[in-house]
Structure 1
């Protein structure tokens, strides 16, 4: 098992998987895609991967979960993707783009000859229909990521113009996760387009066609033989199956027996055992997700006081959390990890673990032993219960009286949304390595009701949003993070999370984004 440098992990992962059993990577099954014939189905080359999350709906603009992004990459394409050199943004359905001098108009030239699975031509009408849907339906989950969107128009058949309310430096990053929709089908069916049943299935331009789904069970996709961008990377897999397997032990058993080809969220305590299983490879991948504490900093609560927040900061033994509790990762030395825009290597430093200092800082506050309400969700990151309990013990040693409540994620989200907490623990990734959505929603807009306000930081957040020059924008982000790190609010980064993946030998072609979104669209599987 190896930790990957964040900047190079996508390339390293692809190379690692491509080297696995290369001598056996041949053509796979010869069955025609999508056939339900029992004889042909038996010859299909199938790739079955399992994760711990159920699929609850199929509207790609109304989701913000990692597994939903993964499945979206099978069926849909976006205007751009993050697979350029050093994780840079490169063309996908767009071929080139330009921005006006005032930063308010982005013009995209679009790829010709691309068709949706229903036969519709991809063109500027698709871009208009997709983005206009978020303007017209602001309650869509993805609409919240487009606060600067003013309008969109088709300049001609293969040219789309996106208009903004103010300049937005992170627009291309947001387009990475904005799948293009079929305009005619969308106009005809509306939201019903995203129902998945015998007579209606998701429609994209992607390399895999949605075929079958039973709620709570498998979702199946067949290879799109007419996909516009196979090139030399055409998958030899005929059918991809996503299987939601909630129980960790069941996923582990499936990869051992060969019933599953790949599993996500390998339990920390099972990773070493799986490494010794013949035919199974295990990868421990350091991504951009940060496990952090969130403070409630209003209503006269103790964490309004910087000294109290810094007492927490120095009470935490981050290295111990990573090495002995969480099962791996990297202690946070900055609010974002290396590889995310705004990381400042020169000034990054892991806060000193010093209980005496923590006690001294706490003594300078008005804290008189009141109970601290500390909430934690279940099933969100590896060993979350054990990590939360370790944090509790560290804070108690520093003099805090803490009441830890571990609850189902839905209940946790409700409590946090109501601001009914003093302290919480959670994780978040930085999508495609850009922090804009995180710092805008969680810090500037205070989505989690911290009550913390820092006018200087908020001004710089707005400035970086409107800065089109990447060098100037990165400097502004460094300044935002420097303020947040010094203030330890509204969040306090603990450690960079590790994701553990297990797969059978002979699996190649997996692409991995900086935010640990797995892209299975180019997957291949050697014959057994």
Structure 2
């Protein structure tokens, strides 16, 4: 039997939207050898909201990096365009053992990495062993996706989900895991688990991650990755803030329809719009919701994705011990006027969150009600906790827009005003998205921070499991709380349930526990993000996972 999952209803609807996206060139127009005619441009230029952190997807944690690496790298399992369903990618098929602990992958033959090295079962096993065998620095930070999904590394032994890989022949890789889980092999569709050239990984000392101040230092390979995808990296011009990809003419599948793909980094949304209007880019992500109507009136295409995300305020009880008190965490929640925030700062269709996952995901608890906006209750709880007038270092990211957070500063200022209105002294902190903010969050450097998550795949484990499942490595520092260990155990137990109905019921119970008993963070809202592209752009399918690919895209002259 092959494991597949059902797409969320909204994602199914998105499949019908085989619409367009991105890009144009500041360069001389030219015919596209891959499209069979001279009526399209040879370059797509897309306005990105932030810079990529690096180009090795294994160590990436943010959407701006994945937007780039997704065009270059492929995994064993892929995502069907316009949905949240998995489909074959570098593996043509897969089969589990009766106990769900051994998975046999039949691989595509004739595939090569850009450096000419063959993609085969040995390469698969090398990649998995590389991902599993990380140093302490990587384990505690940038290898977060592996830690979240696999629950541990090689050094954790039997406690880790991944237990080994065997190449039984050139086109057959057998992966062993420690327990049955609903997320396998679905989680292998994550960009972080893409297959990369073993030769290039070795030569680039790929696993040599070091600590550098509040951030991390990455080896040479992180700037020169080697994958199998339809595009490959040409150059990253940090001065001009552009990332240029070129078509992989030796690609195993259908070649990219456009010769070059350029991501132009434009942090300011209004500037992105101006560049679209001027024709210097062909599209951009995350247009301001207030601009949607005007953009369409000007002849552009606004492609609205289903909301498959959560925006939240993270709390760090390790850095600020006052946050260990449930009454303090509850007070912060009651202080926030989220209804007003959704109405004034988020697009039509946004919702106040009742839990840390959207309502399309199995395990969503329909009985949970949102915390009310209640200043008096917030102040009373702070008084009971002896935390009146407490100082809270509260951070937000700059130089970025996110699907769940179109304007971080405006959203932050609204939340900050609510907190100050109940007597909390807010210490304002900000940093560029990929210029210290994410690394500081990973390192537990803020008391509280504004962040969010767009689901990578349709599973409760990908939301609450990602946030709270790994006791050793999570941004909410649950290891220092009275509830953290039990919450991790409950999440692992729920994920291991084979029966879908029983598993959903278990997750509903855990969601209630998180929101009513633990409250490790403050779930804020769910928001439908959008892409905007010129009328000349054809062939892009908007993704509920914000996982668009550009190899099918053309831009008319």
Shift of 1:436: 3.0
Distance change in 2, residues 1:221/1:41 (3 Å): farther
User: Which among 313, 328, 352 is matched to residue 331 of structure 1?
Assistant: 352
Secondary structure of 1:61's counterpart equals helix
Q: Which residue of 2 aligns with 1:402?
A: 425
Distance change in 2, residues 1:414/1:47 (3 Å): closer
1:108–1:160 contact (8 Å) kept in structure 2: yes
Q: Which residue of 2 aligns with 1:254?
A: 275
Q: Does 1:76 align with 2:73?
A: yes
User: Which among 210, 217, 221 is matched to residue 194 of structure 1?
Assistant: 221
Shift of 1:56: 4.6
Alignment of 1:199-348 (within 5 A): 202-216=225-239, 217-230=241-254, 236-277=257-298, 279-297=299-317, 301-328=321-348, 329-344=350-365, 346-348=366-368
Instruction: Report Cα offsets for 1:333-386 as digits up to 9, x if no partner.
Output: 222112234223x32433333344444544543334333443333345322222
Instruction: Report Cα offsets for 1:210-247 as digits up to 9, x if no partner.
Output: 334433433333334554333xxx65323222222233
In 1, Cα distance between the equivalents of 2:346 and 2:277? 24
In 2, Cα distance between the equivalents of 1:97 and 1:476? 28
In 1, Cα distance between the equivalents of 2:398 and 2:40? 40
In 2, Cα distance between the equivalents of 1:187 and 1:442? 32
Q: Which residue of 2 aligns with 1:452?
A: 481
2:34–2:258 contact (8 Å) kept in structure 1: no
Q: Which residue of 1 aligns with 2:197?
A: 182
Alignment of 1:330-479 (within 5 A): 330-344=351-365, 346-380=366-400, 381-397=405-421, 399-409=422-432, 412=437, 416=441, 419=444, 422-436=447-461, 438-440=463-465, 442-444=467-469, 445=471, 446-449=474-477, 451-454=480-483, 455-479=485-509
Distance change in 2, residues 1:405/1:160 (3 Å): same
2:19–2:541 contact (8 Å) kept in structure 1: no
Q: Which residue of 2 aligns with 1:107?
A: 104
Aligned length in residues? 500
Q: Does 1:123 align with 2:143?
A: no
Q: For the aligned residues, what is the CA RMSD? A: 3.4
User: Which among 39, 42, 45 is matched to residue 42 of structure 2?
Assistant: 45
Runs of 5+ in structure 2 lacking a partner? 1-6, 22-28, 153-160, 207-218
In 2, Cα distance between the equivalents of 1:105 and 1:509? 38
Using structure 1 for the length normalisation, give the TM-score. 0.83
In 1, Cα distance between the equivalents of 2:82 and 2:437? 39
User: Which among 165, 171, 175 is matched to residue 162 of structure 1?
Assistant: 175
Q: Which residue of 2 aligns with 1:3?
A: none
Q: Which residue of 1 aligns with 2:165?
A: 152
In 1, Cα distance between the equivalents of 2:291 and 2:76? 39
Shift of 1:43: 7.6
Instruction: Report Cα offsets for 1:143-197 as digits up to 9, x if no partner.
Output: 434322222110111110112244443232331121112334545555388366x
In 1, Cα distance between the equivalents of 2:413 and 2:74? 42
Alignment of 1:487-502 (within 5 A): 487=517, 489-502=519-532
In 1, Cα distance between the equivalents of 2:227 and 2:318? 46
Distance change in 2, residues 1:85/1:284 (3 Å): closer
1:378–1:406 contact (8 Å) kept in structure 2: no
2:106–2:173 contact (8 Å) kept in structure 1: yes
Distance change in 2, residues 1:274/1:295 (3 Å): same
Q: Which residue of 2 aligns with 1:507?
A: 537
Q: Name the stretch that deviates more: 244-253 or 300-309.
A: 300-309
Shift of 1:496: 1.1
Distance change in 2, residues 1:411/1:154 (3 Å): closer
Runs of 5+ in structure 1 lacking a partner? 1-5, 21-27, 35-39
Shift of 1:57: 3.0
Secondary structure of 2:328's counterpart equals helix
Instruction: Report Cα offsets for 1:291-316 as digits up to 9, x if no partner.
Output: 11223446894443333333333332
Distance change in 2, residues 1:492/1:72 (3 Å): same
Distance change in 2, residues 1:441/1:11 (3 Å): closer
Shift of 1:122: 2.3
2:76–2:89 contact (8 Å) kept in structure 1: yes
